[in-house]
Structure 1
Amino acid sequence: MEKKEILFGLGEPNDAYAQYFDGQSYLNRLTETGGPMANVTFEPGCRNHWHIHHKSGQILLCTMGRGYYQEWGKPAQELKPGDIVCISPEVKHWHGAAKDSWFTHISVEIPAKDSSNEWLEAVDENEYNQLG
């Protein structure tokens, strides 16, 4: 993967949130106002932990590679460029790269008063490894 392939730029190592990820991710903040947006890039095998957006939602606009999104109690769904995921408030979920592919999405935060993120447990390694 070449950096020029990443439509909105690789950004910097996602050190601020590294404790909530398994593997290396990168963050390039695109906007801070309105609906804050960031380009998030995952190295192969990288994914975030289960988490919940309280009082707000999130939209993922997939731009490169292959990844997954999963809601608690549902099967994981494969993501590819052009896919859009609308995540409702209070839904426990995770997202990240496939084992063999870089993956990039634009994360759009839906503004809401007193919103917060609750970071939870890591995705089960055995379950993740069963994904295609």
Structure 2
Amino acid sequence: MEIFKAGARPTDSGSADYFIGDVTMDPIVSAPEPARVRALLVRFAPGARTAWHTHPLGQTLHVVSGAGYVQKAGEAARQILPGDTVWIAPGEKHWHGATENNAMAHIAIHEALDGSNVTWLEHVSDEDYAAANG
């Protein structure tokens, strides 16, 4: 058993390679093998979002505050609010982030397959993001 005291692990900033805008991530769990679970508390400033990406074993998002969007490739963006839980299937191309005027925080839970839990793709275009904001 290992206990990680609050504040004992540093907050990471989202890389501009994978995010647009101000994004921070606090680790919840990154279990050693043979376990595969990874979880983060991710905070998006207004207008911040991920790039398009996929997860080899899927992803669960649980919104804890604010207002945001999630979009599956080929479908319209959908608003997500506190208490909403989103299941994203393995290999499903998607993005998620805050609305233009509101911050959003969610817990992101996913599993690693052969040490990898995400494949990053291209950034969400400003036009696609503007369409999400209606």
Q: Tell me the TM-score normalized by structure 2.
A: 0.82
Structure 2 residue ranges without an equivalent (≥5): 1-5
Residues 10-38 of structure 1: CA deviation (Å, up to 9, x unaligned)? x62424x3321010100100111142211
Q: Kindly indicate which of the two structures has a greater share of residues assigned to helix.
A: 1
* Cα distance in 2, alignment partners of residues 116 and 36 from structure 1: 8
Computing the radius of gyration from Cα coordinates, the structure with the larger value is: 2
Partner residue in 1 for 2:102: 101
Does residue 99 of structure 2 align to residue 81 of structure 1? no
Q: Which residue of 1 aligns with 2:39?
A: 37
Residue in 1 that maps onto 2:26: 28
Contact 1:18 1:24 in 2 (8 A): no
Percent of aligned positions that are identical: 35
C-alpha displacement of 1:81:
0.2
- Native 8 Å contact 2:11 2:27 kept in 1: no
The match for 2:123 is 122
Shift of 1:116: 4.2
Partner letter of residue 129 of structure 1?
A
- State the alpha-carbon separation in 1 of the partners of residues 117 and 111 from structure 2: 11
What amino acid does structure 1 have at the position aligned with 2:85?
I
Cα 1:32–1:104, aligned 2, differ >3 Å: closer, same or farther? Answer: same
Are 1:13 and 1:24, in contact at CA under 8 Å, matched by a contact in 2? no
- Distance in 1, matches of 2:116 and 2:107, equals 19
The answer to whether the 8 A contact 1:41-1:102 is kept is: yes
Indicate the residue corresponding to 2:3 in structure 1. none
1:37 aligned partner, one-letter code: A
- SS in structure 1 at match of 2:63: strand
How many residue pairs get aligned? The number is 122
Name the structure 1 match of 2:16: 18
